[in-house]
Amino acid sequence: MKRHQDLEPRPRPGSRHLEFKPLHSQSSSSLLHLFSVSSHGSSISAIPLPHHALKPQHIQFSTSFSNSSLSHLFLFGFWDFWGVEGWGRSGEGEGVEEREMAASAGAGVTGGGGAGTGAGSTTRKFKLQRENELRVEVGMDSSLKLQLVSGTAEIFGTELPPMFWMTFPAAHKFAVFTWHGCTIELDGVSEVAYVADETPMVSYVNVHAVLERRRRRAKESLSSSDAPNSQRLEGNFFAGPRCIVVGPTDCGKSCLVRMLLGWAAREGWKPTYADLDIGQGSITIPGTVSATPVEMPIHPIEGVPLDLPLVYFYGHTTPSVNLDLYKVLVKELARTLDIQSASNPEVQAAGMVINTMGWVDGVGYELLLHAIETLRADVVLVLGQEKLYSMLQEVLKARPGVDIVKLHKSGGVVNRNSKYRQRTRVQKTKEYFYGLSNDLSPHSSVANFSDLQVYRIGGGPQAPRSALPIGAEPTADPTRVVPVGFSRDLLHVVLAVSFAQDPEHLLSSNVAGFIYINEIDMQRKKVTYMAPCPGPLPSQLLLAGSLAWTE
């Protein structure tokens, strides 16, 4: 078994980056079409972009072409034209499923990954026409293998390698999309596997085209401007797009975010991914607000490739536990990201893609507006709810430079019940300590109670009774740092290791990683904890919330 190399939130096994540090230690075929417009605007025709159109060298955004009959060329949705609704078109023809039975041992197809089908196993081939999508839900008790046999395809913006078996774990849900047709082979048990010819992918990639244009415009402005960095943060002119994806639960927000990040990375950008969804946690464990730069497409199985993550510990999976604390952490995240981007023009130009929670009513709507304002989002993508789109239009119409775009959710979005969500949270925590494939071995350590200090944010009295008017009762201070003594209540609790050097800075400091309390000896006053790596902790200051996990 491999040992962890550091304590900080780390990439999953097999990802590009083997270790990372916090941002702030203190606190194949064408993907699009060009549309040619005649000089009089009387006709429009579609022209396929070259192979691997999402690579920067193939999209020059130029209007000068040798063909004199093409007086104007533009990428669909290119000039900040947000008319993405209604432009999605279905593929031509239905997907064809072919079923094969391996007749003898060793029969079947073996891809570059070394996986194949054994005797008596069932493989299925799906032939997808252009702009078709294969939607798959892996069974709850077994894994599923997939390979691209022919053509080109992608999973949430990440291209699939040809003839290479990929193994998807149990309960995994994903969709394989092709722009110009492909053949996909599955090996294993799936609860659902079908081909759909109606998807919103064209509208999604149009959004990417607009964001790409803004990134290029920002890069040109930053490279040619003599304005100081402090001025570059004040207006949209000197910064790339800050795109926030909003919508109710189970509308496809996370999938769209992955597509936009993956497409941007394939263009050569390194956008910042900010995850405000404390309920699921796509960067690290649930109960955190976090951000990380993304410089490569997101792996379909391993998830977000991490580099220099910035993680703040909220400690709960719902913001209703402590609304004020959630707002404070979002502010701290935004402040640190602004500091980092101020000294890096490339980061400014690449912009940001922000994922949000699915709570969009009442207090959840208030938190959504707070996130838009705090992170200074200038592109708001609304998925799957007319009411939310209308409300945001009304509230944000007074803010100049903010575009609100309504998008349809994919028909392949799966509704997840509370049991499934809880299982996902448990799995994310387990992955942090043991890795995606249980190939990591965490380290167990024993410490005296006096060696560690545990704190909780919120719940302490705001002021003593003597300082209050007669008859007034003290109220809880949601942002007060309160010490927590060791007791059996901390057993099986996940604690965050803060970078703070004193308790006063716990609220504004990000965290180095997490430990798990697996034994408390009250008589000997010793605690046994599990950490990703051996050695002393970066800090003695620990943060507790309501996150618990039974190994």
Residue ranges of the annotated binding site for ATP are: 133, 173
Which token pair is 543?
Answer: 């943060």
In terms of DSSP bridges, do strands 144-151 and 182-188 run parallel, antiparallel, or are they unpaired?
A: antiparallel
φ, ψ of residue 70 to 5 degrees: the values are -100, 90
Beta-bridged to residue 177, according to DSSP, are: 133, 154
Residue length of the chain: 551
d(CA 320, CA 310): 23
Q: What sign has the CA pseudo-torsion 343, 348, 353, 357?
A: positive
- Who's near 127: CB < 8 A, 6+ residues apart? 95, 96, 97, 98, 181, 182, 183
Q: What is the 3-state secondary structure (H, E, C) of 90-151?
A: CCCCCCEEEEEECCCCCCCCCCCCCCCCCCCCEEEEEEECCCCEEEEEECCCCCEEEEEEEE
CA-based nearest residue to 521, from 498, 496, 487 = 487
Place of tokens 């800075």: 505
Beta bridge partners of 299: 303
Q: Is 326 exposed, middle or buried (0-12, 13-18, 19+ CB in 10 A)?
A: buried
Among 274, 287, 328, 332, residue whose Cα is nearest residue 496? 287
Annotated binding site: 133, 173
Q: How far apart are the first and last CA of the chain?
A: 18
Strands 182-188 and 310-313: unpaired
- Token pair recorded at residue 262: 């993956």
Q: How far is CA 106 from the centre of its chain?
A: 39
Cβ contacts of 499 within 8 Å, gap of 6 or more: 22, 25, 26, 509, 510, 511, 512, 538, 539
Cα–Cα distances in Å, from 392 out to 61, 206, 319, 323, 376?
Answer: 32, 21, 21, 21, 15
User: Both tokens of residue 514?
Assistant: 């997490």
Beta strands in 391-489 (DSSP E): 403-407, 440-441, 443-448, 453-457, 460-461, 476-477, 481-484
